[in-house]
Amino acid sequence: MNISSINLVAFDNRFIETIKDYKKIHLKEGEGTYYTITANKKKAGVIGFQTEKDGNIGLKIGIHQDFRGQGVFGKALTLLAKKHTFDKIYSEVAIANIASVKAHEKVGFKRIPKKKEEELKEKGLMYKRNMMLVKNIKFQNY
């Protein structure tokens, strides 16, 4: 599918249930800001963020299986970052979810140092089976 437009629209909490493994996104109702992603005017995923206890911005993303591998993640992340003007975002991803790890790396996320990860796990701030990735957001002026 050739995707010509990506937009962020009002969050549809019924649509999220159509995304494979949507429960792993860990959205907390009443905590955070979320959007439904549309691609060519069709619902393609959800994206949002929560401000974590340490003040960092934590990404929440789920791309519908019919739209994976088509560049939706990167474009939606850019729209989210511009809309909310943050310059750094973190994402906790299951180590076993190779496709998600690769998708994050493709859009510029890097793994934080393992020592820092272990500290977060010891404090109960992240799941033991996960890794933490971070992306610095830089905008080009055209």
Domain ranges, ordered by start, for the chain: 6-136
Q: Can you tell me the distance from the alpha carbon of 3 to that of 24, in angstroms, rounded to the nearest whole number?
A: 26
pLDDT, position 24: 66
- Smallest CA-to-CA distance from 93 within 75, 124, 117, 115 is with 117
Phi and psi of 54, rounded to 5°? -85, 5
Find the largest Cα–Cα distance for the chain.
44
Instruction: Read off the amino acid at residue 123.
Output: K
Instruction: Read off the amino acid at residue 35.
Output: Y
CB atoms near residue 46 (< 10 Å):
25
pLDDT, position 22: 73
- 6-136: CATH superfamily: Gcn5-related N-acetyltransferase (GNAT) (3.40.630.30)
Residues in the chain with pLDDT < 70?
Answer: 23-24, 28-29, 139-142
pLDDT, position 16: 85
